[in-house]
Amino acid sequence: MNREAVRTRYTDALTGLAGNITRVYGYDHPVLIEGGSYPGIWLECGPLEGLVYGRVDPAIARANHDVFFHHQRADGYLPCYVWRERLGTAQIQMVVPIAATALETADLLQDEAFLANAYQACARWDDWLCRNRDTRGTGLCELFCQFDSGHDGSPRHEGLPEECPDGDAAICPDAGRLPYLAPDLSASVYGGRVALAGMAERLGMADETRSWQDKAETTRRLILQHCYDPDDECFYDVDADGRFVRIRGDVLTRVFGEHVVDQALFDRIYERHIKDPAAFWTPYPLPSIAANDPAFVHQLPRNSWGGASQALTALRAPRWFAHYGKSDDLRHLMARWVEAIVRAPAFMQQMSPWTGEFSTSAGYSPSMCVLIDFAERLGLAGQGASC
């Protein structure tokens, strides 16, 4: 890998990210938006991107969380996105729990007031999810529409509406076999509760700490009980008829991201699925659908979670690879992504898992965040970097 080319691209990424900092609807402070064709900030990814960029500008880490807390409704709902001219309320669209990134941001800022505000906001969000996204009474978080998971164009959601009716994320559409019990959304709830326990502990609230720990463990157990198939060693959505939606996708990585499974179970799933070069360990990991799954979309259309390797999945990878003792594999993944991004004509959203050729939405902040994060982790960002 050409170190000088990486350093040049690293500088380009910092410049591009600075150019994607702007104001959005109803909020007085600038935030880091998604960029490219995406004119705002999304709950599933904006807080994590702000946290990564927070190494450069901690104020952006704060703002990329506070913008959602600022717009939180009285009933606890957090907007799924904040664009330049409006809020989104038609889905929940969560992946990395905002409570988890808020806790890390509080550490970065060393700000007790931010921590206390984040704790109250995230607790109210958890309450909204309990009241509105557990209609089947299982204790898990339900998926009502495609955009809930941010999996645009995924065969996982074939035949489902993109959004909830009337722009209301509390209304389940009368379509397909909805609602689904969703392992990734439930994992986000679990991770959020783990983080809420950590917040409560730091705020000196012992009873609330224990309560969040108990709730988190219950959620973890229910994910394994309802959404895990031990024969396939895979996590799946469960439709309203109690049947698995058997599509092997990057839902697995989202469950891993919140550390839902123990080491022994992780090792079995990882070796069978993630490290299989015919499935997820392609030349440019990790495709959004296993490459050998019949549902894989080989055309790799724009903005498709039907097969392409997505920058957002890569950006989340450090949250779980090292936790499960896979630092060498993480290093390989990061090197492949850096190589592909340096070679690409622009910072774009997704790439072919076989060729590393990028497409979709030049000026895309997550791809820039991947480059700066991975280059720093690989020691390729500074003058003394080595390959």
Domain assignment present for residue 287? The answer is yes
Residue 351 DSSP SS3: strand
Which class for 7: exposed (0-12), middle (13-18), buried (19 or more C-beta within 10 A)? middle
- What is the reported pLDDT for 1? 79
- What is the reported pLDDT for 332? 98
Alpha carbon dihedral 212, 140, 173, 162, in 10-degree steps, equals 80
- What is the reported pLDDT for 138? 98
pLDDT per residue as tens digits for the range 67-104: 999 999 999 999 999 999 999 999 999 999 999 999 99
Domain assignment present for residue 127? The answer is no
Q: Please say if the pLDDT value at position 319 is more than 60.
A: yes
Domain assignment present for residue 232? The answer is no
At 383, the pLDDT band (50, 70, 90 cuts) reads very low
Catalogue the long-range contacts made by 39-43 (C-beta closer than 8 Å, 24 or more residues apart): 39/83, 39/84, 40/81, 40/82, 40/83, 40/84, 41/67, 41/81, 41/82, 42/80, 42/81, 42/93, 42/150, 43/68, 43/78, 43/79, 43/80, 43/81, 43/92, 43/93, 43/94, 43/98
Q: Please say if the pLDDT value at position 384 is more than 70.
A: no
Residue closest to 250 by CA, chosen among 300, 310, 340, 192: 310
Domain assignment present for residue 136? The answer is no
pLDDT per residue as tens digits for the range 183-228: 999 999 999 999 999 999 999 999 999 999 999 999 999 999 999 9
Mean pLDDT of the chain: 97
- What is the reported pLDDT for 330? 98
- What is the reported pLDDT for 338? 98
Q: Please say if the pLDDT value at position 353 is more than 50.
A: yes
- What is the reported pLDDT for 289? 98
CB 60 within 8 A of CB 21: yes
Q: Please say if the pLDDT value at position 264 is more than 80.
A: yes
At 272, the pLDDT band (50, 70, 90 cuts) reads very high
Domain assignment present for residue 361? The answer is yes
Domain assignment present for residue 335? The answer is yes
CB 4 within 8 A of CB 380: no
How far is the C-alpha of 282 from the C-alpha of 333, rounded, in Å? 10
CB 232 within 8 A of CB 245: no
Q: Which domain holds residue 300?
A: 1-20+278-387
How far is the C-alpha of 233 from the C-alpha of 156, rounded, in Å? 17
- What is the reported pLDDT for 348? 98
Q: Please say if the pLDDT value at position 298 is more than 70.
A: yes
How far is the C-alpha of 114 from the C-alpha of 386, rounded, in Å? 38
Domain assignment present for residue 45? The answer is no
Average pLDDT over residues 135-150: 98
pTM for the whole structure: 0.97
Q: Give me the number of domains the chain comprises.
A: 1
Average pLDDT over residues 267-294: 98
CB 313 within 8 A of CB 253: yes
Domain assignment present for residue 285? The answer is yes
